[in-house]
A and B are shown apart, each in its own frame.
Chain A
Amino acid sequence: MTLCEAEKTFVLHGVEENFRIDGREREDYRPMELETDIVSHAFGSARLRLANTDVLVAVKIEVDTPFPERPFEGKLEFFVDCSANATPDFEGRGGEDVAIEISNTLSAAYHSPKVFDLRKLCILKGRKCWKIFVDILLLECGGNLFDAVSLAVKAALWNTQVPLIRQIDIDGNNVELKVSELSDCQRLDVKTAPVMVTVCKIGEHCIVDPNVAEEQCSVGSIVVSVSENKFSTVLQTGTGSLHSSTLLDCLKLGYKVAQRLDDALWSTLSKIQPTEDVGFLK
């Protein structure tokens, strides 16, 4: 989608009046829908729909060997798949850059041990650990991918069931694990997992949750990823540059919104009943 100058001016004026083209205020999000536990083969899954943006996240777990330099830690890997259904631009290798950007930002956001403690995924020091694969599928792009993806990832990790280890047999170099049934599992601790907020600068003001049209009008945006009360990653996207005071304003706004978003997500998740049977793939 490309906008002409007049359309861009219209969007810009809307932002200045604090009344955006879809009727929202500058700090408002679009309505969201969240479903968990919808992919039966995965250990945990979630689907998030933020207006027209649709993201499906599935979590898989494997047993692996830890990195030699970090023998006490498990592994966490993100993989983003851009479906050509989302936008025609993703056809062929078109979505590769977006996919790499999103997965790199996610790994940076989950990098700090205070955000997501990989030590809990260790089974046997230097020998065995859990490796978590987070597969993200972009089903539809309606702007604001980062926010939607981070929320869906957090929900999917919350939903993830890690099997318990019943017994470890060590015979020389051979390690054999006996794992519990799927009905008897442990949840991951994701209270501190980060939530990302994209702050877009349009004209003199900053907005959150831009739609596709608004993304086009902005020269630069900042993706902040907030975990509890700290920033875990800040990344500038787009081609523009910002003055340092604007940057700090963006960070403050992003921080405030991320706190609200995290609270909303957490209260939604706590409402979900473990045995509830809903979802579009069932």
Chain B
Amino acid sequence: MPIDRKRINGPEETVPYNLYTKLNTKSLLQEFDELFCDGKRADNRAPLEHRKIFLKTGVVSQAKGSAYIELGKTKVIVSVFDPREIPNRTDYSLKGEIYCEFNCTKRRLHQQDAEEKQYSAIMKQALESTVCRHEFPNFQVDIYALVLHNDGSPLSAAITAAGVALSHAGVPMYDLIVSATLGIQHNVKFLDPSNTEQRLCDVSISSDGKEDSHGIIVISMLHTHEQISQFYQVGNISLEDITESVKVLETACKDIVPLVQKHLVKHILKTIKNNEDYVILVSS
């Protein structure tokens, strides 16, 4: 990969010291038991309890629309820019394009790596079915997501925030979009997993060849039309578990919607009030 020599790139690779400490000798099963005991998770949540969400719009002054979201410690900023001409394109496209860029927190080079590209593609897939793309043929809307702190479910946070940022930017949309993540490990479903939970769900911990499911599921829902605009799963999960998880995630998404709606309404009222103040100022 070519490197930008003008930047301070730092070392090419870093390895956290704690991989080599004696503390790192716990088996995954022990780690799991520590994380989940007596039906409570490490942060005192029930397995199917979502973390508290904080939303704010208008955080990036240069962008047309922007949103900041917090899911516990996970913090993501999403900004949306005006439609612009699609670069390096010669043919006419009837529908507008969406360009997503997802940037993660793990200290990396400024170029996107495979994981970030994958997340960008998923984000694009999720948002394509909600934006009225026929309204801006031949143009693309740029959406940038920057993860400030990754404590699990960064993709869901980014998609939910992108929905809010798009509507803040006044981009016509068919529907509100919200997203939720779920991790499965050892017959326990973790809604909105934290980083450690997500890491544990990624691998299989039962070594005795039991038929346990493990994995991560991310879905994005369009609220009014009850459509799933994006579904992504990785791991090793049985059909029954997926069916159950989809139900759980659907209700989780429904629970997030009122929050997003409330926030948008509050934002509209605020801007209308500002506009009125401005009108009074001009007329006086």
Contact = CB atoms under 8 A, between A and B. Distances in A.
Contacts of A113: 203-204
Nearest to B235: A112
A68 B20 CA distance: 9
A235 B217 CA distance: 10
Contacts of B118: 100, 104, 108
B232 A234 contact: yes
A234 B231 CA distance: 7
Contacts of A101: 121
A241 B177 CA distance: 12
A9 interface: no
Interface string B228-244: 11111111111100110
A92 to B, nearest CB: 10
A244 B229 CA distance: 10
Contact of A227 (B15, B222, B236): B236
Contacts, number: 103
**Chain B CB within 10 A, most for which of A233, A244, A247:** A244
Query: Is chain A's binding surface mostly helix, strand, loop or mixed?
Result: mixed
A90 interface: no
Interface string B203-240: 11000000001110100001001111111111111110
Interface centre among B114, B128, B214, B231 (most CB of A within 10 A): B231
Interface stretch (A14-22, A40-48, A170-178, A248-256): A248-256
Contacts of B237: 230-231
Of B214, B229, B233, B250, chain A has the most CB atoms within 10 Å of the CB of: B233
A69 B233 contact: no
A222 B231 contact: yes
B56 interface: no
A241 B233 contact: no
Contacts of A205: none
Contacts of A233: 233-234
A268 interface: no
B226 A243 contact: yes
Contacts of A220: 129
A112 B214 contact: yes
B115 to A, nearest CB: 8
B233 A244 contact: no
B15 A244 contact: no
B117 interface: yes
Given A235-B232, A244-B246, A104 B114 contact: yes
A236 B125 contact: yes
A236 B238 contact: no
Contacts of B282: none
A233 B214 CA distance: 11
B228 A239 contact: no
A231 B117 contact: no
B125 A243 contact: no
A114 B204 contact: yes
Interface in A68-108: 68-69, 97, 100-101, 103-104, 107-108
B221 to A, nearest CB: 8
Interface centre among A68, A231, A248, A255 (most CB of B within 10 A): A231
B227 A241 contact: yes
A101 B84 CA distance: 25
Contact of B121 (A104, A111, A242): A104
A232 B234 contact: yes
A84 to B, nearest CB: 17
A233 B215 CA distance: 9
A243 B234 contact: no
Contacts of B226: 243-244
Given A229-B238, A231-B233, A243 B19 contact: no
A241 B221 CA distance: 9
Nearest to A256: B239
Given A236-B230, A236-B232, 14 more contacts: A97-B121, A103-B114, A111-B202, A112-B214, A112-B234, A113-B203, A114-B204, A230-B213, A231-B233, A231-B242, A235-B233, A239-B128, A241-B222, A242-B227
Interface of A: 68-69, 97, 100-101, 103-104, 107-108, 111-115, 220, 222, 227, 229-237, 239-244, 247-248, 251-252, 255
6 contacts: A233-B233, A236-B229, A237-B125, A241-B230, A243-B228, A244-B250
Interface of B: 15-16, 19, 114, 117-118, 121, 125, 128-130, 202-204, 213-215, 217, 222, 225-239, 242-243, 246-247, 250
